[in-house]
């Protein structure tokens, strides 16, 4: 009997692993009129953009805290004017949002990775980076760690940004609104590349971005309850390291390395933008 139970648990475990990262099960294509496609038995998703339209998808689930991973391969070649957005967002006019946006560029020039955090509909917390590799040549993993203490943006496991919960000094932090995962590929040549100076070259269309290996180790919000609220020992709030994860000394050093060498804009260093003084979270150590 014990061996049968063990076998059934193994089978169940294999089924759970198999279902992880299946785009058919985890996402809905929401717009694009055929320009978004789920391929390879749900293991690959592609978004395309042409002069008529872009495309996008969203998660079936809503999440309230989690560790979200997605591998992306961005639009290659002359991607100027295009934006590939990958983000968490809640509905309504006072929404919360955690953003990755990839701003295209001319062939050979680097993508700009744009990050932002919104709470109750207010953002203005932009940090921008170049990457230390070509994000169009292969898939790379872009991760959001979101727990009650902090939000960490990472690329291939290297943290590039940490936004800490600073409610104690009056800074709003997204912690009350469940969010879905969204992604879209769209034309933003009025601002995306060199402030809109470089326009989209439609002779290169269709532009295509690809996605694979989605994973969410997260609290799913459904019918007003979190899957982490269970008193079960296996509930994520009690057993998942991400719920209380912080950056260790090695991760802090890697974060400093990225911010020293690859950060190209930091709202916390833009004194001209904030003549009344930098935001409170910028003034903490």
For residue 239, the model assigns a pLDDT of: 52
Interval 21-69: pLDDT, tens: 699 999 999 999 999 999 999 999 999 999 999 999 999 999 999 999 9
Which residues are part of the catalytic machinery? Answer: 97, 101
116-136 confidence digits (pLDDT tens): 999 999 999 999 999 999 999
The reported pLDDT for the residue numbered 192 is 87
Q: 195-220: per-residue pLDDT in tens? A: 889 899 999 999 999 999 999 999 99
**Mean pLDDT over all residues of the chain?**
90
Q: What is the pLDDT of residue 230?
A: 58
**Which pLDDT does position 190 carry in this prediction?**
92
232 — pLDDT class (breaks 50, 70, 90): very low
Q: 26-223+242-282 has which CATH code?
A: 2.60.120.200
For the question of whether the overall pTM of this predicted structure is more than 0.85, the answer is yes
Percent of the chain scored above 70 by pLDDT? 89
Q: How confident is the model at residue 20, as a pLDDT?
A: 56
Mean pLDDT of 172-188: 97
**Stretch 232-252: mean pLDDT:** 77
Q: What is the pLDDT of residue 284?
A: 77
Residue 17 in tokens: 């692993």
**pLDDT at position 204:** 95
User: Does 1 score more than 50 pLDDT?
Assistant: no
């Amino acid at each position: 009997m014990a061996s049968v139970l063990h076998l059934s648990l193994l089978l169940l475990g294999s089924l759970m692993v198999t279902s992880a990262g299946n785009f058919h099960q985890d996402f809905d294509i929401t717009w694009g009129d055929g320009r978004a496609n789920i391929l390879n038995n749900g293991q690959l998703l592609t978004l395309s953009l042409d002069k008529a339209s872009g495309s996008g998808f969203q998660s079936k689930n809503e999440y309230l805290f989690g560790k979200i991973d997605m591998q992306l391969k961005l639009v290659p070649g002359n991607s100027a004017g295009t934006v590939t957005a990958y983000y968490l967002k809640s509905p309504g006019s006072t929404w919360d949002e955690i953003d990755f946006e990839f701003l295209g560029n001319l062939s050979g020039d680097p993508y700009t990775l744009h990050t932002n955090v919104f709470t109750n509909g207010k953002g203005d917390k932009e940090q921008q980076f170049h990457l230390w590799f070509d994000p169009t040549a292969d898939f790379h993993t872009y991760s959001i760690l979101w727990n009650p203490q902090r939000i960490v943006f990472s690329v291939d496991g290297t943290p590039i940004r940490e936004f800490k919960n600073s409610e104690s000094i009056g800074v709003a932090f997204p912690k009350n609104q469940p969010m879905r995962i969204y992604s879209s590929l769209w034309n933003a040549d009025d601002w995306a590349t060199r402030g809109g100076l470089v326009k989209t070259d439609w002779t290169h269309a269709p532009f295509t971005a690809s996605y694979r290996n989605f994973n969410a180790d997260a609290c799913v919000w459904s019918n007003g309850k979190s899957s982490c609220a269970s008193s079960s020992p296996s509930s994520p709030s009690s057993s998942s390291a991400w719920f209380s994860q912080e950056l260790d000394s090695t991760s802090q050093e890697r974060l400093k390395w990225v911010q020293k060498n690859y950060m190209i804009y930091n709202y916390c260093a833009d004194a001209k933008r904030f003549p009344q003084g930098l935001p409170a979270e910028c003034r903490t150590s």
